[in-house]
Structure 1
Amino acid sequence: MLRFSDAVLSKQERLSRWGFLGLTTAPLVGAALFNHTGTPPFLLCPFWATTGIPCPGCGLTRSFMAIARGNLADALRMHLFGPILFLAFTVAAVLMALELKAGRRLQHTPFRYINERIQNWWWLGGIYLGYYGLRLYSLFHTGEFYINPLEILIIKIL
């Protein structure tokens, strides 16, 4: 059950909630819109375009789009962390909207509970980078990663 505190949100707190609401809903709305209009060309990864190496976030947009279509298997295939982030963005957007509607802060949220239980977050970054390393290894051994990144950097520099 959701319980709100007695204190009213200050102007600064309301502005920050609106900002978080915008940041969390933009990818969700974008995923739904891109499914109907196609992926726009401006969503090319600048890291991949520059180096020829996929970045750690490559595939998240396609994963979000697959989730918006209701295809969880494709979402997991595109990026393992896509469904997790999609769920986190959805929950955060709903909680921010509830706080703005009520004008009061929620006393307990899943994010505060998780933050209290997990003291050191460094391991989560390690898991994410480990997953990225496995993706690069897999791409290299399947032949999908056929570009020599050093060659691309030398060509771009010269």
Structure 2
Amino acid sequence: MFELSPYPLSSHGKLVRWGLLGFSCTPLLGTYFYHQGYRVGFLVCPIRCLTGIPCPTCGMTRSFMAIAQGNLIKAVAEHLFGPLLFASFVIVTVHITLELLIKRRVTAFYCHVVKQRKLQIIGSFAVFIYYIFRLYKLAQTGEMYFYFMNSPLGKLLF
């Protein structure tokens, strides 16, 4: 299940892990502080602000906030892949922290799973299909047209 490297981490390996730790901790800390009432105004989707149309990751922040409130149903409603991404950030944070504490590389079963090319392609395809479905739903209700026409790009073009 877990395999521990017999060799200590190199200084470059430690530096890379500190970077990964910072990257994976940021959304978790942001979720915590946002849930505590801290707000950062510039955290908006630039694609949605410009076009009025959501990007493939729009809804992730709201999904993470719902997870922080313990509302998994709302988290899935905001973005289907939000809980999965949140769990991934937690796993990576714990894994990298463990490696930095014991100063050795740890290989777990999930390290082999995420490296499988076929699984990466299937995951990317699933996210793409989910995004197309969301856009289709917005188009059917007329919201996408309304949002685009009221966006800066829509106003510039029409």
TM-score, normalized by length of structure 1?
Answer: 0.88
TM superposition outliers: structure 1 runs of 4+ over 4 Å: none
Q: Per the alignment, in what secondary structure is the counterpart of residue 105 of structure 2? A: strand
Cα displacement (A) at 1:112: 2.3
Match status 1:40 vs 2:43: no
Cα displacement (A) at 1:91: 0.4
Cα displacement (A) at 1:4: 1.5
- Name the counterpart of 1:115: 115
Q: Per the alignment, in what secondary structure is the counterpart of residue 85 of structure 1? A: helix
- Name the counterpart of 2:133: 134
The 10-residue stretch of structure 1 (36-45 or 20-29) with the greater mean CA deviation from structure 2: 36-45
1:2 and 1:124 map into 2 onto residues whose CA distance is 24
2:154 and 2:65 map into 1 onto residues whose CA distance is 35
- Name the counterpart of 2:79: 79
Task: Give the residue type in structure 1 aligned to 2:133.
Answer: L
Q: Deviations over 1:99-135 (max 9, x none)?
A: 000000013341223424x546223212111100111
TM-score, normalized by length of structure 2?
Answer: 0.88
Q: Deviations over 1:29-88 (max 9, x none)?
A: 101111121543211111011111111110000101111111101100000000000001
Match status 1:9 vs 2:9: yes
Q: Per the alignment, in what secondary structure is the counterpart of residue 42 of structure 1? A: coil
2:77 and 2:70 map into 1 onto residues whose CA distance is 14
* Unpaired runs of at least 5, structure 2: none
Q: Per the alignment, in what secondary structure is the counterpart of residue 42 of structure 2? A: helix
User: In structure 2, do the counterparts of structure 1 residues 109 and 14 end up closer, same or farther at CA, with 3 Å as the change threshold?
Assistant: farther
CA contact (8 A) 2:75 2:83 kept: yes
Q: How large is the Cα RMSD of the aligned pairs?
A: 2.2
* Unpaired runs of at least 5, structure 1: none
Cα displacement (A) at 1:92: 0.6
CA contact (8 A) 2:64 2:86 kept: yes
1:37 and 1:60 map into 2 onto residues whose CA distance is 18
- Name the counterpart of 2:104: 104
